[in-house]
Chain A
């Protein structure tokens, strides 16, 4: 349960990449997400949509990694948008206030439409 790994699928869309983690995003697995975002920055693909439909659970560490990703991608001239329909995650974004500064939408395309840079 706790030591599960998260699988991250990366696909190419028009001018951005889509990251699809499958599994819980918590303190034990966020390293993978952080590394995946780091790799995309190195590859100069700083526009990323993270699709959270395959993530049944996300804790503050997972949220922290997403928000850290937003910051790093924006510094690299890109952005991170979130595709999410899960009530639980949407509530977390709303409680913490992270939802205000980031494009969050129910589909990847809608999320990508909200890129800032």
Chain B
């Protein structure tokens, strides 16, 4: 039977309570039947017996008094004694009439009283007048024949009445015995039942409870050791069974957490690989200052950058793989690796982009793509060139005017398509000549797509406005301030990575040897 622990305990105690009530009821009924027998014997049977005895005794005494009166010489005290006994008999007659309730007893009493009356009539109307007129022997005869037979009738009726009362007492006795036997039987049954219920409550229930709880304790110990395959089999149908089920659920939850922790660990490894892949030291040519900034929304992300200086050329790449997490990080790693390898092999920027596109096309799924800008800065001429592969346009911040103010704008040059999706993404280039002091700011879409709590994006216009207003700052603090602005705008909840590279052209170094950088735009490789 499926019962909750609460109902088991309530049921057990309820049963005990019921048995106690039954015990009380049996005891009370036993006492009340004792009382009724007592009442019957002491209030009815015994007074009735006494009344019958007194009546019979009174008539016998009357007869004796009259006899002695006839034997003696008519003494007045004996007549008085007779009269007194007649009065006594009347009193007992009245009392007996009230006492006897049974029809048979009443009939016997009536007969007895009638016989008594006849005896008194005989004495008063015949015996005493005969004795008074000196006819004693005749009076004796009358008394001897009629009187004696009446007295013996009275005695017979009295003994019949007495027997009837004895029967009542005996009946009561039997009744009492039967009642007490019955009560004893009920008491034994109730006590046995109470014992059984008590035993169940005191032994079986706790034992089962303890066994089930022990199973749970064992399971928790095993779980503590890291064994998350505990099967908890409790079928008590109560809260303990429910607890067992919850334990199994918790175990499943812990398993999931364990897997997540493992994934987190893998993610940390991936993050560490990504950190190692990203540049750890920036080249610091005298002709240009390069400031990289990055805030990742997650442990790993799709944003990346690469800066290389060789001879009088600075090469800068900023990329963004679509999506988030490991998938995006893998795409970033592929792009970065291919790009670096091709550059080391001396490939031209266009070839590098083509190769990177091929590699990404092979590796990407249908929904993934990478945007990037691959740019070079010629220190000698100040000429900056780049290929924009579906990426946000860079911002050109002109060098400070005489009043110290800088002007700036987005350089919307010819645009190509994203990498990793198209066979031919296009290779149109943008060329711009920088003056010393000019800054080129490359960034990823995280800056313009950062959302406020209300869901409004930061947008290109806000970015341009901030760049303008903060342009008085040196490159490093400028970048930090811009990142902080965007983070504040998004209330600290960035959904996408923020990556920015600020390249400030310092002007040609006249002492530098005139050699060509690797991967020149006109290279055939």
Closest to A63 in B: B322
Q: Is the CB of A98 within 8 A of B418?
A: yes
Q: Does B249 contact A (CB under 8 A)?
A: no
Q: Is the CB of A2 within 8 A of B390?
A: no
Q: Is the CB of A67 within 8 A of B391?
A: no
Q: How far is the CA of A34 from the CA of B368 in the complex (A)?
A: 13
Q: Is the CB of B371 within 8 A of A96?
A: yes
Q: Is the CB of A56 within 8 A of B495?
A: no
Closest to A88 in B: B457
Closest to B298 in A: A27
Question: Interface code B339-371, partner A: CB below 8 Å = 1, 0 otherwise?
Answer: 000000000000000000000000001111101
Question: CB within 8 Å of B: which of A15-59?
Answer: 24, 26-27, 30, 34, 56-57, 59
Q: Does B324 contact A (CB under 8 A)?
A: yes
Closest to A67 in B: B421
Q: Which residue of B365, B416, B417, B451 contacts A1 across the interface (Cβ within 8 Å)? A: B451
Q: Does B406 contact A (CB under 8 A)?
A: no
Could you show 29 A-B contacts with beta carbons less than 8 Å apart?
A1-B451, A27-B495, A34-B367, A56-B455, A57-B451, A59-B449, A60-B302, A60-B320, A60-B445, A60-B496, A61-B323, A63-B322, A64-B322, A64-B323, A64-B368, A65-B367, A68-B366, A68-B367, A88-B459, A94-B415, A95-B391, A96-B371, A96-B417, A96-B418, A97-B416, A98-B417, A98-B418, A100-B417, A101-B422
With a cutoff of 8 Å between Cβ atoms, the chain A residues found around residue B451 in the complex are 1, 57
- State how many angstroms separate the Cβ of B122 from the closest Cβ of chain A: 124
- State how many angstroms separate the Cβ of A115 from the closest Cβ of chain B: 19
Q: Does B425 contact A (CB under 8 A)?
A: yes
Q: Which residue of B302, B390, B393, B455 contacts A97 across the interface (Cβ within 8 Å)? A: B390
Q: How far is the CA of A72 from the CA of B421 in the complex (A)?
A: 13
Q: How far is the CA of A95 from the CA of B371 in the complex (A)?
A: 9
Q: Is the CB of A67 within 8 A of B495?
A: no
Q: How far is the CA of A68 from the CA of B365 in the complex (A)?
A: 8
A-contacting residues of B (Cβ < 8 Å)?
Answer: 302, 320, 322-325, 365-369, 371, 390-393, 415-418, 421-422, 425-426, 445, 449, 451, 453, 455, 457, 459, 493, 495-496
With a cutoff of 8 Å between Cβ atoms, the chain A residues found around residue B459 in the complex are 88
Q: Does A71 contact B (CB under 8 A)?
A: yes
Closest to A71 in B: B366
Q: Is the CB of A95 within 8 A of B415?
A: yes
Closest to B445 in A: A60
Q: Is the CB of B367 within 8 A of A64?
A: yes
With a cutoff of 8 Å between Cβ atoms, the chain A residues found around residue B302 in the complex are 60
Question: 7 closest pairs, A vs B, by CB?
Answer: A97-B417, A68-B367, A60-B322, A96-B390, A68-B366, A64-B367, A64-B322
Q: How far is the CA of A94 from the CA of B365 in the complex (A)?
A: 22
Question: CB within 8 Å of B: which of A82-101?
Answer: 88, 94-98, 100-101
With a cutoff of 8 Å between Cβ atoms, the chain B residues found around residue A95 in the complex are 371, 390-393, 415
Closest to B392 in A: A95
Q: How far is the CA of A64 from the CA of B369 in the complex (A)?
A: 7
- State how many angstroms separate the Cβ of B412 from the closest Cβ of chain A: 10
